[in-house]
A and B are shown apart, each in its own frame.
Chain A
Amino acid sequence: MSLLHGETETAGAEALPAAEAAAPRPRRGGWRWLLGRLLRNPSARIGGGVLLLILFCAAFAPWIAPHDPLAVNTLGRLKPPSAVNWLGTDEVGRDLASRLIFGTRYFLLICAIAASISAGFGILLGLVAGAGSALADTVIMRFTDMLLAFPYILLVLAIVAILGPSLWTAMAAVGVAGIPGYARLIRSVALTVKREEYVEAARALGASEAQIILGTVLPNTISPLIVYLSYATPIAALSAAALSFLGLGAQPPTPEWGAMLVNSRSFLFTAWWAVAAPGLAIFVAIFAMNLLGNGLRDVLDPRDV
């Protein structure tokens, strides 16, 4: 019933402890446990399934795609969907289905690079701010304040303006614009964990600061980090697609979904499929990510309504 948010799951969880205490179960918090819970969550199952399909397409694109995604065919321009061209062709006769299949690679690449930049630098800055000196904390927090003063898309555009438009700068821009959010999250976790008694105990036993940060603070950030990733990555992917659509990211003829719309949108009235195919691909992929994210939030952060 509850596909989109965990009310029934959460409500069920309140009744669970007695039963759980009786039956042996996998260790709470392990990867196995997480996977098991996710498989029981319908929202995560659907979202995860679609994302696996995208991953499969990306891995085997040359074998799945019926045509060359860049092959131009001037005689077969703007053909409606048919048995030969499953989703029709675009304004220069390229096969849309093949372009969508190869587009999965760009989609995943953008997600991976943007998330790595945001999370990588965010974790580093967050740990230094939360577990380091007061001065470092002040400097890093003022820096994040500065970036957070911009609405997200505006910050992305500002970074693209500084770096110049291309696929790589679009990924970098989306990644950098995400850093302050991660830094704030990790800092707040680090500040909380630092005050825990077991950290005091570790310190009393002679553990070094580095050992404490890597051994106790970092592992504690994993669960909130996954939840935040699931929330921030679709936004990053959506922004990167928007940049390509605006001509500020991936450039045609790259089969990136956002870039596919740049030229085809002028043919909206005559060949709607050339617009609908890449548009729907982005929409479905982002929706799947949000569904999986909802599932992850239900499992890892059940307090959130």
Chain B
Amino acid sequence: MSRYVLRRLLMALPVVIGILLVTFMIQAVIPTDAVSAMYEGQTTEEEAAEAIAAMRERYGLDQPWYIQFTRYAGNVLHGDFGESIRLRRPVSEEIGYRFINTLQLTGAALLIGILVGVPMGILSAAKKDTWLDLGAMTVGLLGISMPAFFFGLLLILVFAVWLQWIPVVPRGGAALLLPALTLGLIEAAPLSRIARSAMIELLRRDHIRAARSRGMGEMSVILRHALPGTLLAVMTVIGLQFGNLLGGAFIIEVIFGWRGIGELGVKAIQWRDFALTQAIILISAGAHIGANLVVDVLYAWIDPRVDYDT
């Protein structure tokens, strides 16, 4: 088992290098803009050019790219993400608490997605080709067609403005409710599709037919024999879905003013603040890879059919 974990870690290594390369490219292109945007209107052209040159030297941007890259990768490995040009302080100070906020949001959304999506998928598989199935699948298709930003605004409009169940500017736990609901309900759509097709597939298997022929009720066939397999199938994609949720958080956080890394990330791109942008994209992609690693290992641990040595 530990050898399996080690091998999975080694397999992730080239991917991590790839991610570092992509995020590194952000600094290779942006800096001049960032610096000139900062000094816009405050300086003459010569002064700005001087400031830009000084800034390039300070961040080592006048070096050849491979030297810059090794330095960048080395710094990141030491937990040093550089200094934000805009905020004028180390990126790591700003990102820590924001990342925890984002994890809260995505975690709650994932929970909502599973609690809504999986039962919906199972129900439509059990009632395949009935109006219930058709209804659930229509809702699912509507879900994958719904722009997250519009859905978020719609929920604010309905729950905060029309029904007034939630204050427009909520505090504490209530603040998490609408953003998590927006992200979670959208996430429920793909999860219900996966649960449905896994369940349909399982219900055709021999052991299910055997259970039915022994006179077992449909309800217990589904709950005792098909549910575990369906959950396992759902679990394999949760790692990937977590990445989607992180990406979706960039949009949802902006709408709800949720102070996570997504909200800051969008600002960082607008500011052309390369160190901040790099760190946020790097951490999100890293979290995505980490989540997939954990899911893979958990899966291997739960499902005895997975061979650790291959």
Contact = CB atoms under 8 A, between A and B. Distances in A.
A150 B145 contact: no
Contact of A153 (B129, B144, B250): B250
Nearest to A247: B270
Interface string B268-288: 111010100100010011001
Decide if the interface of chain B is mainly helix, strand, loop or mixed.
Answer: helix
Contact of A242 (B153, B246, B251, B289): B251
A258 B149 CA distance: 9
Nearest to A305: B197
A46 to B, nearest CB: 11
Interface residues of B, number: 58
A282 B29 CA distance: 32
Nearest to A150: B285
A277 to B, nearest CB: 11
A8 B285 CA distance: 41
Interface string B251-278: 1001100000000011011101010010
Given A150-B22, A290-B144, A157 B248 contact: no
B243 A4 contact: no
Interface string A131-152: 0000000000010011101111
Contacts, number: 161
B272 A164 contact: yes
Decide if the interface of chain A is mainly helix, strand, loop or mixed.
Answer: helix
B123 to A, nearest CB: 15
B243 to A, nearest CB: 3
Interface in A157-183: 157-158, 160-165
Contacts of A149: 15, 18-19, 285, 288-289
A234 interface: yes
Contacts of B236: none
Nearest to A144: B18
B21 interface: yes
8 contacts: A7-B129, A142-B18, A152-B244, A153-B244, A154-B281, A280-B150, A283-B145, A287-B142
Given A152-B247, A287-B142, 20 more contacts: A1-B129, A4-B138, A146-B18, A150-B288, A153-B244, A153-B247, A154-B250, A154-B284, A158-B22, A161-B30, A161-B277, A162-B29, A162-B30, A165-B269, A246-B254, A248-B270, A279-B154, A289-B145, A290-B145, A294-B141
Interface of A: 1-5, 7-8, 142, 145-147, 149-155, 157-158, 160-165, 234, 238, 241-242, 245-248, 258, 261, 265, 268-269, 272, 275-276, 279-280, 282-283, 286-287, 289-291, 294, 305
Interface of B: 14-15, 18-19, 21-23, 25-26, 28-30, 33, 128-129, 134, 137-138, 141-142, 144-150, 153-154, 156-157, 161, 168, 197, 200-201, 243-244, 246-248, 250-251, 254-255, 265-266, 268-270, 272, 274, 277, 281, 284-285, 288-289
